[in-house]
């Protein structure tokens, strides 16, 4: 992966990309998105990121406002969608196609613009790297291709806001911004080499992006999926972690509720009763462990605290056998159907309380 990133970076240098220039990276999540993203950054250039589901006009505004000099696109289908309303209005020094055959591109739209596919860029980069490594002049100087250093305060990427509050605004993130996330996420996600993560969020989503960087810096396997294939891939790949936004967990919760509702009446009644008991058990457990969140700034009196503590202890002790029964009869099946073995991490927004409490009963959260 490192070699592919370096090849892509050197390929961009070979076709004239300079530090601080901006390249629009309009593509969806994939392994090649990561290579392109890191390759652009490694040149000292700045990538301007967005997904294929954005409107043509929004993409045009982002490309123009960012002063991008070239375009890296996902596929021929996406490019051809942009051909009439977008490509004809921009100044692009070149176009890079991450997936697919460039012969499938709208020929009229690219008549005067050089087009490279992913393999073209990496091949150019590999040749460029080899030439630098074996250049006699550089070898005599004890160098193997020296480039301008990238500083922590240099801008790494431009991420544009969703546009719900008006015209999307460009947020400048530096290399230090991104490194801070990488260096601190382990406190929340103690993943180890060999663990598997399932990724489905758009890569231009800052939360997803910093997570992907964290994953690869810790030797963890990344599995890419989509909303359509999420359920099947969870079961097939059995990831240790999934890091996503609240909507994904709400979707999983709704799916589980539908499965329970579709069960025979007796099984449904037992399952719902055991889930309710488990939720009561977890509430009592949080009280005596002192992990209940409160909005009240007033600290309760010692007598009130002790009363709640003792009551919670008694309730938890009484419910514990039924909670274990619920884990065996209900949550074990839920756990197996979801396929996440260590933890689900929610971020980028507020997780609804009923969803939070439901998954809290699971051992993997």
Instruction: Give the separation between CA 63 and CA 25, rounded to whole angstroms.
Output: 10
Whether residue 143 is predicted with pLDDT greater than 60 in this model: the reply is no
CATH code of the domain covering residue 139: 3.40.50.980
Among 121, 145, 176, where does a domain finish?
176
> CA nearest 238: which of 364, 91, 70?
364
Among 141, 176, 211, where does a domain finish?
176
pLDDT digits (tens, 9 = 90+) for 250-300: 988 998 999 899 999 999 999 999 999 999 999 999 998 888 877 778 888
Highest mean pLDDT among 38-47, 185-194, 338-347, 349-358: 38-47
Domain check: are 239 and 143 in the same one? no
Instruction: Give the separation between CA 137 and CA 110, rounded to whole angstroms.
Output: 38
pLDDT averaged over the chain? 88
Q: List C-alpha distances in Å: 45 to 10, 31, 153, 211, 214.
A: 12, 20, 13, 21, 21
Domain check: are 203 and 327 in the same one? yes
Whether residue 221 is predicted with pLDDT greater than 90 in this model: the reply is yes
Domain check: are 81 and 201 in the same one? no
Identify the pLDDT of residue 64. 94
Does 188 map to a domain?
no
Instruction: Give the separation between CA 271 and CA 275, rounded to whole angstroms.
Output: 6
Identify the pLDDT of residue 137. 56
Q: Which residue range(s) make up the domain with 5?
A: 1-176
Coil, helix or strand for 73? strand
DSSP of 280-349, one letter per residue? HHHHHHHHHHT-------SPPPHHHHHHHHHHHHHHHHHHHHHHHHHIIIIIHHHHHHH--SSEEEE-SS
What share of the chain in percent tops pLDDT 90? 53
Using N-to-C axis directions, what is the helix angle for 302-326 and 265-289, rounded to 10°? 150
What share of the chain in percent tops pLDDT 70? 95
Domain check: are 165 and 204 in the same one? no
Highest mean pLDDT among 11-15, 51-55, 223-227, 330-334: 11-15
Does 81 map to a domain?
yes
Instruction: Give the separation between CA 33 and CA 75, rounded to whole angstroms.
Output: 11
Domain check: are 211 and 171 in the same one? no
User: How many domains is the chain partitioned into structurally?
Assistant: 2
Which residues are within 8 A (CB) of 224 and not within 5 positions of it... i.e. 6 or more apart? 29, 30, 31, 199, 200
Does 94 map to a domain?
yes
Q: What's the mean pLDDT in 316-345?
A: 88
Domain check: are 164 and 266 in the same one? no
Identify the pLDDT of residue 116. 95
Highest mean pLDDT among 5-14, 206-215, 220-229, 231-240: 5-14
């Amino acid at each position: 992966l490192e070699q592919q990133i370096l090849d892509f970076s050197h390929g961009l240098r070979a076709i004239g990309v300079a530090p601080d220039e901006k390249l629009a990276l309009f593509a969806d999540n994939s392994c090649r998105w990561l290579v392109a993203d890191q390759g652009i950054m490694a040149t000292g250039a700045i990538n301007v990121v967005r997904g294929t589901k954005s409107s043509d006009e929004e993409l045009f505004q982002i490309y123009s406002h960012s002063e991008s000099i070239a375009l890296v696109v996902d596929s021929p289908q996406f490019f051809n969608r942009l051909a009439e309303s977008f490509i004809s209005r921009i100044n692009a020094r070149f176009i890079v196609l991450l997936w697919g055959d460039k012969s499938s591109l709208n020929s009229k739209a690219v008549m005067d613009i050089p087009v490279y596919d992913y393999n073209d860029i990496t091949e150019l980069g590999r040749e460029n790297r080899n030439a630098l490594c074996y250049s006699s002049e550089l070898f005599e100087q004890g160098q193997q291709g020296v480039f301008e250093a990238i500083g922590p305060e240099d801008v790494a990427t431009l991420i544009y806001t969703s546009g719900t509050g008006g015209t999307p605004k460009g947020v400048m993130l530096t290399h230090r911004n991104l490194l801070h996330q990488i260096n601190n996420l382990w406190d929340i996600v103690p993943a180890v080499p060999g663990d598997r993560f399932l990724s489905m969020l758009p890569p231009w989503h800052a939360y997803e992006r910093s997570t992907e960087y964290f994953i690869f810096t810790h030797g963890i396997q990344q599995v890419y999926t989509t909303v359509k294939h999420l359920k099947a891939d969870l079961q097939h790949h059995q990831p240790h972690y999934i890091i996503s936004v609240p909507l994904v967990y709400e979707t999983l919760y709704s799916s589980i509720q539908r499965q329970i509702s579709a069960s025979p009446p007796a099984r449904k009644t037992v399952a719902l009763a055991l889930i309710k008991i488990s939720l009561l058990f977890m509430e009592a457990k949080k009280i005596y462990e002192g992990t209940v969140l409160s909005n009240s700034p007033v600290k309760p009196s010692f007598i009130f605290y002790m009363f709640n503590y003792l009551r919670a202890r008694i309730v938890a002790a009484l419910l514990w056998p039924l909670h274990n029964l619920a884990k065996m009869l209900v949550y074990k099946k839920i756990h197996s159907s979801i396929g996440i073995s260590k933890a689900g991490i929610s971020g980028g927004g507020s997780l609804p309380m009923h969803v939070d409490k439901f998954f809290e009963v699971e051992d993997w959260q």
